[in-house]
Structure 1
């Protein structure tokens, strides 16, 4: 079992790193409660193996890997079932500030990605890992990380553009700075 010093070391680690790791978990799963559960599960897995982690500086990498594996297990185990209700429940009103709206939109759009794509995007762009670090953490080749990231970013851009078009089409307006699209005219030649 663990001695008091090892347990205290883990408690100190959790106290220092839990906020940053919760942000990572929040980006891996769309629901805040699931993100807390995901992080708690990763903490539990890490605590059990805390004495086996020789370099405690690598504990974040171990925890991120545990979160990704757990999230993948959840994704594989999900069950789809349709629930019929007599009425559609009211939806909650989100904070109207741009910061929260943009964040909610981005987290929602991340939901279109596969778990692997989402993991790569989160590790590369939020956690700020290099391509090589991301590949090593996920056990992939760097070329796989690059191509998957490239495709994921294209999907995200296309989804955001589609949502923008739908928004302005529903409002009956044009996006700011774009005006009405007009066909290009051929330039007049000097010979004419």
Structure 2
């Protein structure tokens, strides 16, 4: 480590941090993201500081790194989508629903046999594939699929869930949920 380079870099950070943070704010539109951007960019610049000719080059390189890092973050966040003024309406109700919906579902689940309830909980609430559910329950994948099928049929017919569109929807077909 070169103490001269380290001291020069520390002076640069101390003297230019506010300006870099303002630049980061203009790139991100958010002060917290701007701080994160400056810190991430300075960490990247730290490793390449020896190849730079002057303090002027250090600032220019830091700003270039900030622009590139901001662009990478934006691409990751949006994945090609464009932001809109308003959020779209959700396609389906929240997976958690209201307290009443959860209570009705829990009471309906409580009426099922324990193994059926366990299969449904493992498969849909824990989001495990059929094979993993079968391994945990100590049975075959076919047994898990038939148990889940019978359990869902009972829930669809259950009086507590009779008006619930999530349980009365048509089945999606014979697709396997194994991943």
Task: Choose between structure 1 and 2 for higher RCO, CA contacts under 8 A separated by at least 6 residues.
Answer: 1
Give the structure-1-normalised TM-score.
0.40
Structure ID, larger Rg: 2
